[in-house]
Structure formats: C-alpha cells, structure tokens
Amino acid sequence: MNKLDNRRFISKLDASNMLGLISTFDEQCKCAYKIGKTFNASKPENQINNILLAGLGGSAIGADIIRVYLQNELKVPMVVWRNYRLPDFVGKDTLLFCVSYSGNTEETLSSFRDGLKKEAFIITVGSGGKLKELSLKNGLRHIEIPSGFPPRQAVGYISIIILAVLAEMGFIEDKKSEIEELYTSLSEVRDREIGIEVPRSKNIAKTLAGELFGKYCVVYGTGDSTESVSIRWRSQFAENSKSLSSSHIFPEMGHNEISGWEFPRAMLKNFKVVMLRDRNDYIGTQKRIEVSKSIIKKSGVEVFEFERRENSLLARLFSLILIGDFVSFYLAILNGIDPTPVKRIDYLKAQVAKN
C-alpha cells in the first residue's frame, strides 16, 4: 500500500494529530464566525482612517488573507505589520488589531505597547497569555479564541473573526452568504479531493506531495487574489513539512524573478512550480502568467496550476488554503516526520529570550 493511503503508518508519524486539525478546518471557520458575530464591536468615537493588523507567523497570515480579500471593498487602507515597532502613521485614527494566538509573541506585545502610546483604537485577539492580560488591564477589547492549537492551525479563527468584526463595525458588508458557502466548499474539497480517505490515485494533494518530495517548490500567487495563499503554502511547507520553498506574486515576478529561471541549471532540475490562480485575476496578470509559465517550462521545470470554481472569492481562497495544508501534511509524511513540532522555532525563541 502507498504510504499516503496507509492510515496506520500515518498515525504513527502524526503523533500530535495534525491531520485531525486540518480535517476540521470547516468547523473551525464556523466557530470563528459565531465568535466574531457575538463580539461587542462598537465603533470608536474618532474617525478611522486606517486599519493595521499586528502579528507574526501563523497569527499574521489570517490577517493577510483578509487584507487581500477585502482590498477592493474597504474604503480605508489595511496593513499587516510584522515587527516590534509600529509605523509612525498609527494614531487615534487607527483601528489596531494585535493578534497573537499564544498571547505571548514578543513582537506583538511590543506593537501593543506602542499602540497604547499612540492612542490607537485597539482590539486584541488570542487564546490568552500576556496579551489578554495587558488588554484587560488597560480596559480594552479582547477576543478570546480556543486554545490548544499550533498557532499556524488557528488561521480560520483569526481570519474569519477579523472579517466578522469588520462587518459588525460597519467597515464592510455582512458576509453571511459567503461564509455559508465556505463551510460547504471546505467539507466538499476535503471529502472528494484531498482528504485522507481519498486514495492517492484520485487525490490532488497526495499526488502533488509525491511530485514535490525531494524537490524545491516555488509557489506563485497573484496580487489580485492568491498572494496571501501563496505565502501560506510556503510557510506550511516550512513548518509542517520541514521543507524549504519560496513564494512570489504576479505581476511583480515578471519584473525581476522571471529572469532568474536560467541558472544554476543543475539545480533547476530539482525545482517544481505551483501557480495559484483565480478567474477574477486581471487580464494583464493572466497574460503574464501564461508567458511566464512557458519560460519556466523551457527551463525544464514542471508547473502545476490550481484554480478553484467555487462561487465566492472567499470560498475559492480558503479551498486553496486547505489544499496547501493537506499537501504540506502529506509531504511531511513522505519526509518521515511528525508535522506538528517546530523545534527550530522553539529553539530560536528560547535563545532570543536569554538575551
């Protein structure tokens, strides 16, 4: 039996049950929407002229997804910030989301304190920790999400909660119909295309994991739709599969990276490319993808494309996220490792904390 169809083999490696977390992504999103809708999200007295979401790693990618999804609807700029100190434009007219799943992320706590000094309208999101403590101590609004997840697997909570809160505060229209389609789409793509019970011969995630095994993957998204999804795929390859990869976006890559698909030729033989597309991508972007694809193929590199057919952009983006999560899980199994532990991240944090 193929390794990826062998439940017993997978269970032995997957000691922390990452498969269970990935497989219940639809339920997580459903729970997140309820949390966001019940949050008392009253608007601040000051006019909000910008929205900033401060977070790192798994706590930031959910914000990135919402930023891209809402870029053609929000009437104020939204920025995702991955650093200690906030930019100078943050002030009383800023809605600041400080997001840390653990509640103890060093950089996010620094951003929170900076936001207090700048008198931003702050909402904190996390499962507890120091961030919740500081938020409540300062009389601020905290949204609590369930604990017990690796931060990267709480992306549904973080993204959907932020989306629901922005709707409750009147920045965007309510997304109830899109959210309901999202639940159905995630369960269907899991059960029919990528889930553990779908055999490798019919499973697009298992098949791609097999193609990527022992290879270096470059993931491309588009600035119109899948930019944040490509980042998610890269980070999941790193944390789940313990595999290096890279990501970039169209049309930007056509102004720099496309020129690099020539050397070193010996290494290019071990490269694979994944392109994440959407039907609403700008026509100029679509043309660039087609030309770039032909250039890359001439370098002897195989290109895999993924494009979803769900009605709403939200469902299409989250379906691509779930596919990437399953691919990274299956690749971890082929690499012979437990996908959940991130020992090098833990070591890095411990060393930084000493100084």
pLDDT tens by residue, 1-42: 589 999 999 999 999 999 999 999 999 999 999 999 999 877
pLDDT of residue 299: 94
Q: Do domains 3-13+200-334 and 18-174 have the same CATH topology?
A: yes
pLDDT of residue 1: 54
Segment holding 29, helix H or strand E: helix 25-38
Paired tokens of 75: 């009437």
The reply to whether 142 belongs to the active site is no
Q: What is the mean pLDDT of residues 248-266?
A: 96
**pLDDT for residue 152 is more than 90:** yes
Domain spanning 18-174: which CATH class is it, in words?
alpha beta
Q: Which CATH architecture has domain 3-13+200-334?
A: 3-Layer(aba) Sandwich (3.40)
pLDDT of residue 355: 65
The reply to whether 255 belongs to the active site is yes
- Are 137 and 112 within 8 A, CB to CB? no
Whose tokens are 């532990």? That residue is: 341
Which residues, at least 6 apart from 19, have a Cβ–Cβ distance to it below 8 Å? 10, 196, 329
- Percent above pLDDT 70 for the chain: 99
Paired tokens of 221: 């998204």
Q: Which of 75, 137, 255, 354 is catalytic?
A: 255
- Are 165 and 123 within 8 A, CB to CB? yes
Q: Which of 239, 248, 272, 310 is catalytic?
A: 239
Q: In sequence order, what are the beta bridge partners of 124? A: 98, 142
Q: How confident is the model at residue 92 (pLDDT cuts 50, 70, 90)?
A: very high
Every domain of the chain and the residues it spans: 3-13+200-334, 18-174
* Higher-confidence position of 349 and 80: 80
Q: Is 91 helix (H, G, I), strand (E, B) or coil?
A: coil
Separation between Cα atoms, residue 93 and residue 91, nearest integer Å: 5
Q: How confident is the model at residue 354 (pLDDT cuts 50, 70, 90)?
A: confident
pLDDT of residue 43: 77
Q: How confident is the model at residue 58 (pLDDT cuts 50, 70, 90)?
A: confident
**pLDDT for residue 272 is more than 90:** yes
Q: In what order do the strands lie in the sheet with 94-99?
A: 78-81, 50-54, 94-99, 121-126, 141-144
pLDDT of residue 143: 96
pTM given for the model = 0.96
Q: What is the mean pLDDT of residues 269-280?
A: 97
**pLDDT for residue 285 is more than 70:** yes
Residue 104, CA distances (Å) to 21, 128, 236 in order:
22, 8, 21
- Are 315 and 185 within 8 A, CB to CB? yes
Closest to 275 in 3D by CA, of 266, 288, 284:
288
Mean of per-residue pLDDT scores for the chain = 95
Closest to 153 in 3D by CA, of 102, 80, 227, 210:
102
pLDDT of residue 180: 92
Across 95-106, b (16+ Cβ under 10 Å) vs e yields bbbbbbbbbbbe
Q: Which of 34, 43, 202, 349 is catalytic?
A: 349
pLDDT of residue 349: 87
**pLDDT for residue 162 is more than 90:** yes
Paired tokens of 148: 């017990």
